[in-house]
Amino acid sequence: MEKFEGFPSQKKVIELLLERGFQVSAEGKVVSGGIEIPHTQIANEIGVDRRVVDMTVKRIRKEPELKEIFENIRSISFLVDVAPLLGLSVIIIHPKDAKEKGILGEVATVMAKRGFSIRQAVSDDPYLVDDPKLTIIADKNISGELIEEIGRIKSVKGVQIHQ
């Protein structure tokens, strides 16, 4: 992100590419796996001119560190919005300091002791997101007691159930 300070429009492109896990191919195309995402669609999504996307992609291709990152980034199938359809539950944990170590481990320990299996855990990167959170997809309905116990973890600021 530091490489794009002073370039707010290009920074928006970078944020979208990282958020969605989009790659930049050797040909200078934005792709998800083998599917090309037109630069105009990216530009429309974030409210910039297509040329900003073109310039950002060229810059990524020129800088070895950025090139390496964006050739190898991958997206994941995030279950948060379909969890209820699959009979799963979603807990969103707001940490006091997302850069602190062990938050996921503490939450997982509490859940395991109560007989819950974690199907998916997705943590926002505190260096990329202003208000990072930890999203846990669990195998069964979440009880109030579990929410209270997670809320008592020292590193946790707040807990909510997502529906």
Percent share of the chain, pLDDT over 70 = 100
119 in a domain, yes or no? yes
Establish if 77 belongs to a structural domain: no
Residues 134-156: what's their mean pLDDT? Answer: 94
| Residue range 10-29: mean pLDDT, rounded | 94
Burial of 123 (0-12, 13-18, 19+ CB in 10 A): middle
Q: Based on the fold, state whether residues 58 and 127 are members of the same structural domain.
A: no
What are the pLDDT digits (tens) for 32-55? 988 999 999 999 999 999 999 999
pTM recorded for the entire structure: 0.80
Same domain for 153 and 120: yes
d(CA 89, CA 141): 6
CA 50 to chain centre: 24
Residue 64 banded pLDDT, cuts 50, 70, 90: very high
Q: Is residue 155 part of a domain?
A: yes
* Tokens read off for 24: 């930049």
Which pLDDT band, with edges at 50, 70 and 90, does 85 fall under?
very high
Would you say residue 163 has pLDDT above 90? no
The mean-pLDDT minimum among 36-45, 69-78, 84-93, 124-133 falls in: 124-133
Judge if 92 and 158 occupy the same domain.
yes
Are residues 58 and 90 both part of a single domain? no
DSSP per position, 10-68: HHHHHHHHHHHT-EE-TTS-EEETTEE--HHHHHHHHT--HHHHHHHHHHHHHSHHHHH
Residue range of the domain that includes 157: 83-162
The pLDDT value recorded for residue 102 is 93
**How far is it between the farthest Cα atoms of the chain?**
53
Of 20, 43, 19, residue with least CA distance to 129: 19
Please report whether residue 78 resides in a domain.
no
Structure tokens at 40: 């105009």
Domains contained in the chain, number? 2
Averaged pLDDT of the chain: 94
Instruction: Give yes or no: residues 97 and 157 share one domain.
Output: yes
What pLDDT does 72 receive?
A: 94
Residues 125-151, mean pLDDT to the nearest whole number? 91
Q: Which residue has the higher pLDDT, 39 or 131?
A: 39
Q: Is residue 157 part of a domain?
A: yes
Whether 87 and 68 share a structural domain: no
Q: Among the three residues 38, 72, 106, which one is the final residue of a domain in this structure?
A: 72
32 and 99 fall within a common domain? no
Asked if 59 and 97 sit in the same domain, the reply is no
Looking at the structure, tell me whether residues 66 and 89 fall in a common domain.
Answer: no
